[in-house]
Structure 1
Amino acid sequence: MIGNWQKIHQRIIKRQVPHAILSWRYLLPKQNRMVHLHRKTFLSAWADYPRILWCLIALYSYTTWYLYYAWRQVYLTWKNRSKVLFNEQGISPWQQLKSLAALALLHSIPPHFYYQYQLHRFSEREWLNFIYTHELPHWHHMMSPNICARSQHLMSHKHDFSLEMKRLGLPTIPSVIDVKRGRITEQQLFNRQSLFLKPECGSRKEGCYALSYHAETEQYHLYGNNVGEGLTQVQIQAIIGQVASKQHYLIQPLLENHSLITDRCQCDELVTLRLITKLNEGKPKLVSALLEVPVMASFNRTIPIGIELEKGTLLDMPEQYLYLDKNAQQLIKSLANFNLPLWPDVVSIAEKAHCHFTDINSIGWDLAITPLGVKLIEGNINWGVAPHQLIGYIPLSIN
């Protein structure tokens, strides 16, 4: 009972945006398929709860949105971001304010998406062609309503996923140690090998750590969020031991980049690829791909770069320059037209992996290109939709 109340408090009462899009276009005839899918997401949200509870959640969520949060977010977003768009594109602050209000009040879409998706480039009737992150995870649940227990388990438990993919002949990362809420020993951590530690259940690098071993100095360096520099082995073991006592952790080899990627990206940290595959007439097909290059001096921030799907060529994305710093702009320019090594293998592995999850409409895959070939890191049901729609600011073709 306490757990359910905490869940409701965190996901509903404290939430400052609606859980789905409520658009006036739902009332109009002859709307396109995306409008119908947004409407279906709205109606099928919170599917595990009784319908009366869905009504109460919707009543609370949209009442607080229309009476307070929408107005507040429109004003703050307009105040903080309208000047940049006016200087770069010449769109008047008054026109921006009207569009922000329409986005928030006519469609219950948080106004910051006007700038993130550059919606000024589209007419109002095209706004619902995009998928918005505040609809997650309900959008993915609506698109894949009949996920079996096996698929749900493998997608949410990384160790079992890795073992199953290995059994099926796909190249994954072996877990050196599977720590089930226990004490991590000194021998497990400090064995003259660089390691990557991650929660067995988790996403977006939350709770992850990289333990780098430098053979020249025989020293270990721990990298992660809110981790200081110059830590001793005793301090490192204490930090890892504390987090591992609270949840199930995996310890894996720290992957290295393929030499061509290291040279071109000028980055020692692992550069990952995020691919989206979708079932098309029962067969998986790649529909979007990104290269995520780590930002220096940041453990979990990356610069996403679009990938041309046929040849694996990195794209120049001048549309994004408006909201990127000069270093990120320079990186994207320098990598433009670079052909990723082993690209056919990357696509083949992702599509083959999806063949074993035919009850899931679309899956986000994390992969890495290493000196030993392509490695499948993990799959995600509730993958992030925003980065993939920033490639040319084109809506995802997954409907």
Structure 2
Amino acid sequence: MRPIPRAVPDRMRQLLQMPSIRWTYRAVMTRFRRLRETQAGILRDECCGMNLNWRPAARSSAHMAAVHWCHTRILWRKNRTRALLTTLLWPVVSPIFILRRVARHGRHVAQQFGVPLSRQVRDLVYLAHVLYMGPRTYYYYGLYHPGRTASASLYVQDHEILGLLDGINRDTDHRIFENKTAFFEKCRQSGLRTIPIAARFENGKAAFIDDGGRDADWFAKPEGGRCGTGIMAFRYDGPGRYRSESGRRLSKEDVMARVAACSLSSPYILQERILNHADVAALVGDALSTCRIVTYREPDGSEGVLPCAIFKMAARGRSTDNFHTGGMAVSIDLETGVLGRGVVGAEPTTRWDVHPDTQKRVNGFQLPFWAETLALCREAHRVFKDYAFIGWDVAITDDGPMLVEGNLFWGVEAMQMAHETPLGETPFPRVYLAHMKRQRG
């Protein structure tokens, strides 16, 4: 066989260095990555991106029909490839999602609530192909209960809220909420009580340290982290000594070195550990629990609080209260601050009256400092007045409420599940559409 000339690889390299070839390669690979991300998003979210729903059932609330249509328009403008693919593939993949959800939750719903599997499948097909809703919403929002399917279109799906809030916040600066150091500085300058930052690390070095010489437990977390990822805890174990979560004894210098090493990939902050109010700690244990309260400002400047506040608590031995990492969400009566029943994301068809770890009764528990907590959230929104909606995470301590963080992209799944009420029955659609109308001029 005749050998391949050695000049061929050189010619290929020369071709690959041509600007036109390199541009074409980058364009093809970018489109390929987008297609893969779209496929992964469909499988993860169980969603049909475009809500092409003009049937009477979807127009039971004119406001919510318009909100769903806003999401469709926003997705179409942002990523037409994803919008078209999710819509075209939906009739093919939705039966798979339906069977998967029925296999996971169907038997329990049939035994617990007397809903036959045949009816569950029929309802799921209706939701998927008439209302363009993911099968997970049927079990997450308890739509198998009598009469709830009729109000299904009033629910905002979890994948929708991200696009909706992205559309309404497109002209605002997101960085103040994504950067915990910037958020802390803004709160401190405005006199808002929040968790102080003792140290900040970037590229393996401490940018500043201001621990005040206090002996306390410490928490380290990514400066721009979400959902409780990347958190490290260090318990105070005597002067200059700490213990890691694995039980290893460390000096203060060891703690700083460990956090500095983590900051090589992304900036980290070190904060003093904040403890729950004594009454709250008796209910939920040591892991910090927070209230998620959503405040809003209307275009005319008036303000309010959405009646979908929840109390997030760690459960099943978890160290964080994040709902999507195993935490429990409990409804809060906005007027009184009294807790209702809880729900865990891994078991959406079960409601809890007692905490699974402490066995203390959750339903009926009165949160301390509730009036002060609401007042803090309202005051915080006056400071951050350029935003239509903000989801505040607030810890309640022995000294009163304390801001943990603000979220422009707050989830709705835990709220609607805990309250068993759609977001369409709150002021959200009216306020949202008012801001969208102002944006369009």
Note whether the superposition's TM-score is higher than 0.5. yes
Deviation at 1:124, TM superposition (A): 3.8
User: For 1:33-75, what per-residue CA distance to the aligned partner results, in whole angstroms no more than 9, with x for missing partners?
Assistant: 101110111111264x4xxxx33322222222222x2111111
Q: Using a 3 Å threshold, how does the CA distance of structure 1 residues 206 and 134 change in structure 2: closer, same or farther?
A: same
Kept after mapping to 2: 8 A contact 1:255/1:370: yes
Q: Which residue is 1:298 aligned to?
A: 318
Q: Which residue of the other structure, out of 129, 132, 135, is the alignment partner of 1:111?
A: 135
Matches within 5 A, 1:223-234: 229-233=246-250
Q: Which residue is 2:72 aligned to?
A: 42
Residue range with higher mean Cα deviation, 286-295 or 250-259: 286-295
Q: Which residue of the other structure, out of 25, 32, 35, is the alignment partner of 2:62?
A: 32
Q: Does 1:275 align with 2:297?
A: no
What SS is found at the alignment partner of 1:339?
A: coil
Deviation at 1:30, TM superposition (A): 7.6
The TM-score, its normalising length taken from structure 1, stands at 0.84
Kept after mapping to 1: 8 A contact 2:341/2:352: no
Rounded to whole Å, the distance in 2 between the matches of 1:133 and 1:359 is 24
Deviation at 1:243, TM superposition (A): 2.6
What SS is found at the alignment partner of 1:376?
A: strand
Deviation at 1:171, TM superposition (A): 0.6
Q: Which residue of the other structure, out of 215, 218, 235, is the alignment partner of 1:212?
A: 235
Percentage identity across paired residues of the two chains: 21
Q: Which residue is 1:310 aligned to?
A: 335
Deviation at 1:19, TM superposition (A): 6.0
Q: Which residue of the other structure, out of 126, 132, 137, is the alignment partner of 2:151?
A: 126
Q: Using a 3 Å threshold, how does the CA distance of structure 1 residues 31 and 357 change in structure 2: closer, same or farther?
A: same
Q: Which residue is 2:273 aligned to?
A: 254
Q: Does 1:60 align with 2:85?
A: yes
Q: Using a 3 Å threshold, how does the CA distance of structure 1 residues 332 and 383 change in structure 2: closer, same or farther?
A: farther
Q: Which residue is 2:122 aligned to?
A: 98
Structure 2 unaligned spans of 5+: 1-25, 321-325, 430-441
**Residue type of the alignment partner of 1:14:** A
**Residue type of the alignment partner of 1:233:** L
Kept after mapping to 2: 8 A contact 1:278/1:361: yes
Rounded to whole Å, the distance in 2 between the matches of 1:242 and 1:136 is 36
Q: Does 1:243 align with 2:243?
A: no
**Residue type of the alignment partner of 2:302:** K
Matches within 5 A, 1:345-384: 345-384=372-411
**Residue type of the alignment partner of 1:12:** T
Deviation at 1:333, TM superposition (A): 6.7
Q: Which residue of the other structure, out of 162, 171, 176, is the alignment partner of 1:154?
A: 176
Kept after mapping to 2: 8 A contact 1:26/1:35: no
Q: Which residue is 1:138 aligned to?
A: 163
Matches within 5 A, 1:176-187: 176-183=198-205
Deviation at 1:215, TM superposition (A): 3.4
Q: Using a 3 Å threshold, how does the CA distance of structure 1 residues 138 and 128 change in structure 2: closer, same or farther?
A: same
**Residue type of the alignment partner of 1:8:** R
Q: Does 1:391 align with 2:411?
A: no
User: For 1:238-263, what per-residue CA distance to the aligned partner results, in whole angstroms no more than 9, with x for missing partners?
Assistant: 76444321001111111011222223
Rounded to whole Å, the distance in 2 between the matches of 1:57 and 1:322 is 31
**Residue type of the alignment partner of 2:365:** F
What SS is found at the alignment partner of 2:236?
A: strand
Q: Using a 3 Å threshold, how does the CA distance of structure 1 residues 346 and 284 change in structure 2: closer, same or farther?
A: same
Deviation at 1:369, TM superposition (A): 1.2
Kept after mapping to 2: 8 A contact 1:18/1:61: yes
Q: Which residue is 1:226 aligned to?
A: none
**Residue type of the alignment partner of 2:396:** I
Q: Using a 3 Å threshold, how does the CA distance of structure 1 residues 30 and 389 change in structure 2: closer, same or farther?
A: closer
What SS is found at the alignment partner of 1:306?
A: strand
Q: Which residue is 1:13 aligned to?
A: 39
**Residue type of the alignment partner of 1:164:** K
Q: Does 1:171 align with 2:193?
A: yes
What SS is found at the alignment partner of 1:377?
A: strand
Q: Using a 3 Å threshold, how does the CA distance of structure 1 residues 58 and 210 change in structure 2: closer, same or farther?
A: same
Kept after mapping to 1: 8 A contact 2:199/2:269: yes
Kept after mapping to 2: 8 A contact 1:293/1:303: yes
Residue range with higher mean Cα deviation, 355-364 or 156-165: 355-364
What SS is found at the alignment partner of 2:339?
A: coil
User: For 1:291-334, what per-residue CA distance to the aligned partner results, in whole angstroms no more than 9, with x for missing partners?
Assistant: 11212521233222111111211224699994257964686871
What SS is found at the alignment partner of 1:193?
A: coil
Rounded to whole Å, the distance in 2 between the matches of 1:237 and 1:141 is 36
Rounded to whole Å, the distance in 1 between the matches of 2:114 and 2:274 is 46
Rounded to whole Å, the distance in 2 between the matches of 1:188 and 1:353 is 24
Kept after mapping to 2: 8 A contact 1:66/1:105: yes
Deviation at 1:128, TM superposition (A): 1.2
User: For 1:70-97, what per-residue CA distance to the aligned partner results, in whole angstroms no more than 9, with x for missing partners?
Assistant: 1111111112211111111111110100
Deviation at 1:167, TM superposition (A): 0.9
Q: Which residue is 1:225 aligned to?
A: none
* CA root-mean-square deviation: 3.3
Deviation at 1:380, TM superposition (A): 0.4
Kept after mapping to 2: 8 A contact 1:21/1:109: no
Q: Using a 3 Å threshold, how does the CA distance of structure 1 residues 120 and 242 change in structure 2: closer, same or farther?
A: same
Rounded to whole Å, the distance in 2 between the matches of 1:90 and 1:127 is 20
